[in-house]
């Protein structure tokens, strides 16, 4: 999975119709992919991108170049997608939050983890080279409840630090750390059948 967190540098966009159109052409593809990752719906991602560009063009003249333009666009895209997700969760049962507990590993009375034996373990090289495994990772992340999926997406895939994630989703840094720990544990459990070799790719 490619990390869409942009490179650092200082690039300013010209304020002209041609320059604005070029800004859209240069960035719309990765912005759409990022919004789709967050929302898991192409049409909703398109709506979020429209809102993002409205916000971008309203604020572009005030962009001071303290970070790269692409980093600034990245954060606006994330905020637009998260705003759309929050809006949908308020009005749709489809986005009702589910518990992550059923996805977490189980432990016996002595706090030892209950798990099936691992007769085979994929090599690191196999994991790196397997496009099917990469898709399985994406599918497993999508299976997590949104509160946890968004944290692992922003923290481990998009490269935001804990404080930045906390600021983006409006919770404390300690809450982010708890969610991230539980999300990683659930993701590991979801991927275990593949990593053990129980499911061939």
Give the separation between CA 71 and CA 11, rounded to whole angstroms: 10
Residue partners of 116: CB distance under 8 A and separation at least 6: 192, 196, 198
Give the distance, in angstroms, between the CA of residue 118 and the centroid of all CA atoms in the same chain.
Answer: 29
The pLDDT of residue 46 is above 50: yes
Lowest mean pLDDT among 3-17, 40-54, 105-119: 3-17
The pLDDT of residue 90 is above 80: no
Name the phi and psi angles at 25, rounded to 5. -60, -40
pLDDT confidence bin for 99, thresholds 50/70/90: confident
Give the separation between CA 6 and CA 69, rounded to whole angstroms: 9
Q: Which fold has domain 17-95?
A: Rna Polymerase Sigma Factor; Chain: A (1.10.1740)
Give the separation between CA 35 and CA 21, rounded to whole angstroms: 20
pLDDT of residue 104: 79
pLDDT confidence bin for 50, thresholds 50/70/90: very high
pLDDT of residue 20: 87
Average pLDDT over residues 61-68: 84
Lowest mean pLDDT among 78-82, 104-108, 178-182: 104-108
Domain limits of the chain?
Answer: 17-95, 101-195
Max Cα-Cα span within the chain: 67
Instruction: Write the class of the CATH domain 101-195.
Output: mainly alpha
């Amino acid at each position: 999975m490619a990390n869409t967190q942009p490179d650092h540098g200082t690039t300013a966009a010209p304020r002209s119709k041609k320059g604005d159109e070029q800004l859209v052409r240069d960035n719309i593809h990765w912005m759409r992919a990022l919004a789709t990752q967050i929302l898991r719906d192409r049409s909703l991602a398109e709506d979020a991108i429209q809102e993002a560009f409205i916000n971008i063009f309203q604020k572009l003249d005030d962009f001071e170049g303290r970070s790269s333009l692409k980093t600034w666009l990245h954060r606006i895209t994330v905020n637009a997608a998260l705003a759309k997700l929050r809006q949908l969760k308020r009005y749709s049962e489809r986005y009702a939050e589910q518990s992550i507990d059923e996805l977490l590993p189980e432990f016996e009375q002595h706090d030892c983890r209950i798990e099936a034996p691992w007769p085979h373990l994929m090599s690191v090289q196999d994991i790196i080279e397997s496009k099917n495994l990469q898709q399985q990772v994406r599918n497993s992340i999508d299976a997590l409840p949104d509160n946890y999926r968004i944290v692992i997406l922003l923290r481990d895939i998009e490269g935001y630090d804990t404080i930045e994630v906390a600021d983006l989703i409006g919770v404390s840094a300690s809450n982010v750390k708890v969610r991230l720990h539980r999300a990683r544990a659930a993701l590991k459990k979801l991927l275990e059948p593949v990593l053990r070799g129980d499911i061939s790719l």
